Amino acid sequence: MIRLLKAEFGRCLKGKLFWLMVIFTFVMGVSCNVVRYIDFRRNSNEAANEVVYNDTMLYVGLISASVLVGIFVVFHAGMEFDEGTIRNKLVAGNSRSAIYLCNFAICSFASIVMQYIFFFAAFASSYAFFGAFHHPFSVMMQLQLMGSLGIVALTAFMLMLTMILRSKTISIAVCLIAAVVIFAVGTIVTTDITEHSIELSDYGEEIMSPEKYDILDRYSYVYGVDSENCKGKELFIKEQLYDGLFQCHVYRFSSERELPYHWQYMLIYDIAIIAVTTAAGVFLFRRLDLK
């Protein structure tokens, strides 16, 4: 397996794909801040000394990670099916589990490298242009570490799809649609939960109609209160998605000033996703008929 890992690392570092993705994430990290800075300069005529806290820009890379990870995983791991290198590896005596785990290690490594390149590029440019963050650096690093675990979970999921589907073309279509779905579901769950909790705390039972209040009460997530203390199964499901979906994690990283509520649950969900998707992927890949 070590020889396989060495060969895979060599292929990854020698390939154009990895470096193109690295350059792209670096440019994206810097350009986000440049655009924000231009916009800020244009809008800040009256208060030139206004302090801008630019924390949200540090997490744009994580928000768009599902698309980037999907593209990298499919073009790296899916290429092996098209070029026939998977069969060569099997003929050379490597087990299917070892091949799968090697691909997982390389794709996770590349995804984490891209994540940190975006983070440091965004941090440096943001510091140069604005110079202020709500988060202390230690909290940022803790959030990025949690983000890394989420990225690995995302990689495990995308790799499972790629290795099962075999065709690079079908895989890229499925992975990109999956990325869009993850993004949409994460956004909808976060919006629903935060919007309803704001409505509940701002208006209360006295002002809104009883039906409206009942609906909100059933579907709302009250910050800091577990679902057992609220009504409804739907809320329970939404709360689990809120704690389990990578996209929801990222929205919470950028909107809160310390480690988010239920951060331990986030880690547990990420580890569970990695374990389940990798086990399922290895199991299905071992049974796959490779023509």
Partner 1 sequence: MKELLKAEFGRLFRSKMFRILVILDVLFNIYLIYGSEITGTVSKTPYVYIEVTQLTMLIFVEVYSFVAGAFISLFISREYSYGTMRNKIISGHSRCSIYLTELIVCSAAGMILLAGCLLVVAFTHFKYGILDEEAGYLIKMVIICCILVIVYNALIVFFSMLIDSKASSVVWSVIFVICLTVFSSMVNSKVTNDEYARECRSNGKEYVHSDIFDDTERKVYTALDSTLPMTQLMKTFTMTNFVDYGDGTGYVEEFIPPKGEETARFAVIDAGLIAAVTVLGIVFFRKKELK
What residues make contact with partner 1 under the rule CB under 8 A? 42-46, 67, 71, 74-75, 78, 168-170, 172-173, 176-177, 180, 211-212, 215, 219
| Minimum gap (Å) between residue 280 Cβ and partner 1 | 22
Q: Rg of the Cα trace of the chain?
A: 22
| Minimum gap (Å) between residue 173 Cβ and partner 1 | 4
What angle do helix axes 168-207 and 137-165 make, rounded to 10 degrees? 130
| Minimum gap (Å) between residue 91 Cβ and partner 1 | 26
| Minimum gap (Å) between residue 74 Cβ and partner 1 | 7
Q: Which is nearer to partner 1, 71 or 154 (CB)?
A: 71
Rounded-to-integer distance, Cα 207 and Cα 213, Å: 9
Contact 250, 63 (CB under 8 A): yes
| Minimum gap (Å) between residue 166 Cβ and partner 1 | 13
Q: Which is nearer to partner 1, 110 or 282 (CB)?
A: 110
Cα-based distances in Å from 155 to 68, 163, 179, 243, 279: 10, 12, 11, 18, 14
Q: Which is nearer to partner 1, 176 or 267 (CB)?
A: 176
* Helix spans in 130-262 (H): 137-165, 168-207, 210-219, 233-244, 246-255
Q: Which is nearer to partner 1, 124 or 173 (CB)?
A: 173
Q: Which is nearer to partner 1, 142 or 254 (CB)?
A: 254
Rounded-to-integer distance, Cα 89 and Cα 99, Å: 8
